[in-house]
Structure 1
């Protein structure tokens, strides 16, 4: 058995054979590999970890595991390399590898606070079999209960006590399904859907009516009679995540299409099928949209819903058989974006495909279709705003009306700066001007969206290529 020991950070050596990356020959190379592995579009996980350690100390529930290096007074870190890297770089920012020099100042700012954490409690062992067992327990999965058993989304929501009413209703629905039905297929699927997604699904009254779900406050109950429809809807949400339930229109469409495919399950109880002209308002956002930009966004989104119907194929009986979601494949050097994009969010993908389609119509007859240029200018802003909202949705953050500004400043700019610094491209002129503050990308979008300045084709194409760069780096 090993022993517990307080060790100064200077005597801890980052493992050159850390399983997180391919084996390297020096500790400097190991530091680089860890920073590279932990890179984020908006920063680096190691920097985030260092900031947390500086403020709160190390996680007392997880000891570092180290082994003595023969013939020296140093120890190789076998478990806890990220934590050791975070502390080392904060205490000695000169160790930050050159490709990540943009992080040096932020690490350096943590030095004073990190001094109190330089003595690290470690479990010291020279027994490889024991060390291997400890690593498997930590990283080898649940192993039928022997290893770490992670909480599911419902358990995390209960613990956090920060869940909103939507998440509370989702948890309540699952718990009541268990009480009412025991372990059946519906419960098995529902319990494995994140509470945020299940709550989003049942946030819409039309969906609840169709699925025969009753809510009161933070509780939700399934009243029965729609088993086949409910199971099919839950299976799709579990399989595809938030995409088919992103907006209110998406949720209602999901119910309609699933009901046509599997039936409602209870012909005596009519299934509510809302009018196709229903306003596109996502009640999960609960945002105040009073300015002109927001009204324009709503109008643009509504028109895209109508446009999306043109992208569906129908059989001879008029039934929808599959949405065509592939982007237009023909690329002209004068076309928008200059490449094929694949945004990973459903709505951003829809906006992108609509822009591509409108742009191709323009290219066929530029003289007669010049009125499409302002529409394309506005649509670029809509694409970035939609991407911003989807990005923050994916990380569980609600930025409200500031989503676009926050995304451009805190996510897009840092990602593009890392891209420029890493590949040392001198031909990314527009991106460089934007990063350096010589060109206001956001201001131009605002002026186009509000018709303050006219939209010319060369500027439109130029800005769209910067949009493409951002999406490729952050949201593909």
Structure 2
């Protein structure tokens, strides 16, 4: 078998695909048969293709038969691509609109890498192994829960707990009592700790976030110490999982320890980080040193994730009003993939609230009539020469000709019930306007001095 690149338009879906209850006779029938078993799955596959492309680790298997290139393996992927290029292939108007909306988020691949099989028989062994489980080790051996957790890093609550324990052990290495409680939790209560810090509201109040295998701390270590000591003391003692199982119970616990929690006014301008290093030892950028050199040293810049899962996750505002800051922190808890409609609305609201806050604090009266003008007022102040690369998308999306459509999209997120926001669209806007929010906050600080 040989590998070649083939155009999606030249590929024919398999009419005797084992996924079909009966043989189909056209591409429309084949697509309808695939959609019958769950249109949401094919819609999600289409969205994933638009966001990440075609999975390069799984090639499409094709057999030539006369003038047709029949897809033996990868029919769902090819069906999703055909629907992205021609949404009218979907059997209902509602599905046609959904695939058309997804297609607008970018440019769908027109070619795919394929393996050419001489016959169904030649490909049958590999296709069977792909779809029939482990086959005593010959097929695909699924990861166990712990293996998936180790690969996923911070993706599971337990792995978050492990990272948090490593961070705390490193940050407070001279506190023997705290370390004893940490060890007890690690040995017998790690899943309970995972339940606590798996809750985004708890993480927000503690001042920690996770970025792959990095723990980001939003408060100085001495401000985090009281709640950290209290939490591990409670978990090592009488705080069982039954007492923090539900969200309401975790909220009750936070109210009980309110006096130990760090205050919003103590937040760092830039989160500091704890991370693993390649030799397996823990490494932290937090320090207790109070030397002049350390005092003048700027905290390390947080690298923005390539694929943000939450709104404005790289943004921390210190000079806007408290309510604006709290609004942002609440918006940052939203998962774009899990709540795309709410996230889309909050993109529009957060941007508007922050630029309006800046205008009010700085006494601006002109150019405040609409969102475009309010954003433009900030942009012209923070980037008068229009050469800041971090703000290029904010300029393009709000002030230039193509920006009219983007602003219309922002408005439609709130006012149009026909709007169907895509996660890729929401994520793009969040990342584009994040530098603007940061610059607006810095401008408030600068003008007030």
What band does the TM-score fall into relative to the shorter chain? 0.3 to 0.5
TM-score, normalized by length of structure 2?
0.40
